[in-house]
Amino acid sequence: MNIILQLFIGVIALAFLFYGYNCLFSNKLVAEFNRFQLSAMQRKITGVAQIMGALGLAVGLFFYPIGLIASFGLSILMLFGFIVRLKIRDTFTESAPSFILLFVNAYFFYRFGLLLQYW
């Protein structure tokens, strides 16, 4: 795995770690999840899933099967996030981060699969 990909995975992992932590402890995100029409339990599950995914991406830099699983999970999470954004009729600009992160994590999934020679 080249250094640029490693750095990109590291930056994305930090972003998910930050957002996951904020899902659990930020009043701003409590209000945002209310706007999404999601429950407190769904917010907490999202936060924990993002933290686990972030840690999985980081571990995946050294143990590729974990990176494969984490990137797949984060792709699915971002797909659901994008669907929620569409459901509540957010603008393209508001929806773009989840859409972009869906494809970023799908790319990571593909690259981890290549490293593991699954395809």
What does the domain layout of the chain look like in residue ranges?
Answer: 3-115
> 119 pLDDT exceeds 90?
no
In this predicted model, what pLDDT tens digit does every residue of 55-113 receive, in sequence order? 999 999 999 999 999 999 999 999 999 999 999 999 999 999 999 999 999 999 999 99
DSSP per position, the chain: --HHHHHHHHHHHHHHHHHHHHHHH-HHHHHHHHHTT--HHHHHHHHHHHHHHHHHHHHHTTSHHHHHHHHHHHHHHHHHHHHHHHHTT--HHHHHHHHHHHHHHHHHHHHHHHHTT--
Say whether pTM exceeds 0.85.
yes
